[in-house]
Amino acid sequence: MSQNDVVEPVIGLIGGSGLYDIEGLEEKEWRHVETPWGAPSDQLLFGRFEGVRCVFLPRHGRGHPIPPSRLNYKANIAALKISGVTDIVSLSAVGSLKEELPPGHFVIIDQFIDRTIWREKSFFDTGCVAHISMADPLCPRIGDVLEANTKALGISATRGGTYLVMEGPQFSTRAESELYRTWGCSVIGMTNMPEASLAREAEICYATVAMVTDYDCWHEEHDNVTVDSVIKTMQANSANAKALVKAVIPALGQKRELCSAGCDRALEHAIITAPEARDPALITKLKAVAGRVLGA
Ligand SMILES: CSC[C@H]1O[C@H](OP(=O)(O)O)[C@H](O)[C@@H]1O
Ligand SMILES: Nc1ncnc2[nH]cnc12
């Protein structure tokens, strides 16, 4: 953290299905960023918007070559951290699990249920164990900015909602979709975990704009989700997504104090391994994301 706890934000944007670039950036440059966990999904696009430093990452890579289960989530988040990112806005296509959240609607997520089973979920490992809080997994400070700007732009949006993260790549069975509805979930997608928990481990504030593209497969009056329907609705959503991004970057980019929700201090009381029991090789790697507490 910079001196006197004044943060000069760098805004990270993770673009999901159908969002592989970002318009309007000045001083644009695609650059490769290597991390101790390997390469991220693609080069990162560095630039400025109204003077605010931004870094864009196409989550699945340009052209969408990487499926959700094969994304190197650790490299993606580490690359953003290494690039100085303090605040991430995740943009994701999702299926709706509620009648009142139709295609075209945006949900500013506040909870996750993580049903993924194959993914590496932590930067920490044998030789340095950490347990961060995920009680409130998304940054409410960024959520406030997203909510205010969807209202100002007249975008149909809901503040709060649970995103069910499934492994994929196949879409859900109807029985699964109905089960998640009984759990009270709002939307379903395949990517935001462990992305959000790794961002928290890296002490980066993270919020999700879930853009509804379909009614999954439970709605009797709507067709079952297909890739075509997702991409068509994302194209229809894209003007709203672009307008929202352009509005929130300047709002999030102002100099500020530490995050009022404490996301940027998530590791403060999280590491349990005694200094003498730590693995020096792992500590060296971890410094890329946890240098604040482990010594840069
Ligand atoms: C192309 S439909 C399924 C695909 O779309 C969502 O991706 P993202 O969150 O990156 O927008 C969903 O999670 C699946 O990966
Ligand atoms: N119905 C759905 N299930 C999983 N991921 C999605 N992404 C967009 N729609 C989806």
The answer to whether 216 is a known catalytic residue is yes
By the 8 A CB rule, do 25 and 48 touch?
yes
Q: Which helix (H) or strand (E) holds 94?
A: strand 87-96
Which of 21, 23, 29 is closest to 47 using CA atoms?
A: 29
Q: What is the pLDDT of residue 117?
A: 97
- In the reported structure, the alpha carbon of residue 207 is separated from the centroid of ligand 1 by a whole-number distance in angstroms of 16
Strands 11-15 and 52-58: parallel
Residue ranges of the binding site: 17, 59-60, 92-93, 190-191, 214-216
* Predicted TM-score of the model (pTM): 0.97
Report the candidate in 47, 72, 49 with the shortest Cα–Cα distance to residue 61: 72
What are the pLDDT digits (tens) for 216-260? 999 999 999 999 999 999 999 899 999 999 999 999 999 999 999
223 is catalytic: no
The pLDDT, as a whole number, for residue 1 is 53
pLDDT at 4: 61
Return the closest-CA partner of residue 20 out of 219, 291, 234, 212: 234
**Per-residue pLDDT tens digits of the chain, which is 296 residues long:** 554 689 999 999 999 998 988 888 999 999 999 999 999 999 999 999 999 999 999 999 999 999 999 999 999 999 999 999 999 999 999 999 999 999 999 999 999 999 999 999 999 999 999 999 999 999 999 999 999 999 999 999 999 999 999 999 999 999 999 999 999 999 999 999 999 999 999 999 999 999 999 999 999 999 999 999 999 999 998 999 999 999 999 999 999 999 999 999 999 999 999 999 999 999 999 999 999 999 86
3-294 domain in CATH 3.50.50.60?
no
Assess contact for 201 and 123: CB atoms under 8 A: yes
> 87, 110, 114, 216: which one is catalytic?
216
Residue 55 β-bridge partners: 12, 46
Is 230 touching ligand 2 by the criterion CB < 6 Å? Answer: yes
ipTM (interface pTM): 0.99
Q: Which atom of ligand 1 is nearest to the CA of 18?
A: 11
CA 130 / ligand 1 centre spacing (Å):
29
Query: Where does the chain have alpha helices with state H?
Result: 73-82, 140-153, 174-182, 192-201, 227-252, 280-294
> What pLDDT sits at residue 295?
86
Determine the distance separating the centroid of ligand 1 and the alpha carbon of 1, expressed in angstroms. Answer: 33
Q: Give the containing element (helix H, strand E) for 260.
A: none
Name the closest-CA residue to atom 10, ligand 2: 95
Mutating to test ligand 1, I would choose from 215, 230, 231, 232 the residue with most ligand atoms within 8 A of its C-beta, which is: 230
Tell me the two tokens of residue 184. Answer: 């009270």
Residue 95 in contact with residue 233, Cβ under 8 Å?
A: no
Q: Which of 13, 14, 17 to mutate to test the pocket of ligand 1 (most atoms within 8 A of CB)?
A: 17
Residue whose CA is closest, atom 7 of ligand 1?
Answer: 17
Residue closest via CA to ligand 2's atom 5 equals 189
